[in-house]
Amino acid sequence: MPAGEVTERRRTGTRRAEIKDAAITLFAQQGYTGTGMEQIAAAVGLVPASLYNHWPSKQTILADIIVNYELETLEVYDKAVRNHETASEALYAAATARLGYLLRHGRQAAITDREKLSLDSDSLAKVEQLQNAHFTQLRSLVEDGQRRGEFEVTADPLLATVALLELGTRLATSFLHRREWVELSDSGTALQMFDGTALASLDHASAEYGAMALRMISRHP
C-alpha cells in the first residue's frame, strides 16, 4: 500500500475517533435526541456535510458507542475473574474491575443507561446479547459461591445479580440528574465530577464497591 494512502487512512481514523468522542460528550450532556449532527460537526470544526464522510448517521455513532462499551465491559469481567481460588475472590475482583472501568468511562456508562432503547433493532439485539452474557456469567459466579458455602444460601441468585450490577451502574452514573458524570481525571489517580469537585480515588472507590458487593451476599459480612 502506498505511503500516502496509509497516512490518509490514519488521518481518517483519527478524525473518526475525534467525532465519536465529541458525540460521546454531547450525548452524555444533552441526550441522544437532543443532539444533532450539526452540533457534533461544530464540536470538531467540520461542516455537517463532511461528517458523513466518516459516519453515515448519528445512529451508527450511538450503536458504536454502546456496543463497544458492552464488549469492553464483558472483557473486563472475563479478565478479572480468571485464576481465583474462591468465588469470593473472583467476585471482589470482578466488582472492583467493573467499577473501575465504569468510572473511567462515565460518559459511555451514562449513554448506555439512558439511550439503549434509541438503538435500531439489530444493534439493540446485539447489546442485549452482550448484557445477557455478562448477567449469566455473574449469576453463575453467585451460584458457585452459594454451592461452596461462601455466599448466603437464602439469597436469590437472580436478585443478587441484578442488585450487584445495578449498584455499580448507579455509582457510576449517580450525577446524571445534574447532567454530570464521574470519570478518571487526567492525573490517573483521582476522581472528579464534571464540575471539578474532588471525589475519592479510583482505587478507593473500586475497593469500597468490591467490599459492598461481598457484604451483600456473604455469609460473613
Mean pLDDT of the chain: 84
Query: CATH number for the domain including 17?
Result: 1.10.10.60
- Higher-confidence position of 138 and 199: 138
pLDDT at 182 > cutoff 70: no
Q: Is residue 143 domain-shared with residue 66, that is, in the same domain? A: yes
Per-residue model confidence as pLDDT tens digits over 72-82:
999 999 999 99
51 and 140 fall within a common domain: no
Do 41 and 135 belong to one domain?
Answer: no
For residues 73 and 158, state if they share a domain: yes
Q: How confident is the model at residue 107 (pLDDT cuts 50, 70, 90)?
A: confident
Q: Is the pTM of this model over 0.85?
A: no
pLDDT: which is higher, 185 or 163: 163
Q: Mean per-residue pLDDT for 46-63?
A: 94
CB 94 within 8 A of CB 77: yes
- Residues 77, 157, single domain; the answer is yes
Residue 5 CB-half CA count within 13 A:
2
Residues 63 and 41 in one domain: no
pLDDT in tens, 32-41: 999 999 999 9
Which one of 27, 56, 85 terminates a domain? 56
Number of domains in the chain: 2
Q: What is the pLDDT of residue 10?
A: 53
Q: Is 101 exposed, middle or buried (0-12, 13-18, 19+ CB in 10 A)?
A: buried
Average pLDDT over residues 158-178: 78
* Predicted pLDDT of residue 204: 77
Of 56, 75, 94, which residue sits at a domain end?
56
- Alpha helices by DSSP H, listed for 44-156, are 48-51, 58-80, 87-104, 106-115, 121-147
Reading phi first (left if > 0) and then psi (alpha if -120 to 50, else beta), residue 31 is in left
Per-residue model confidence (pLDDT) at position 3: 44
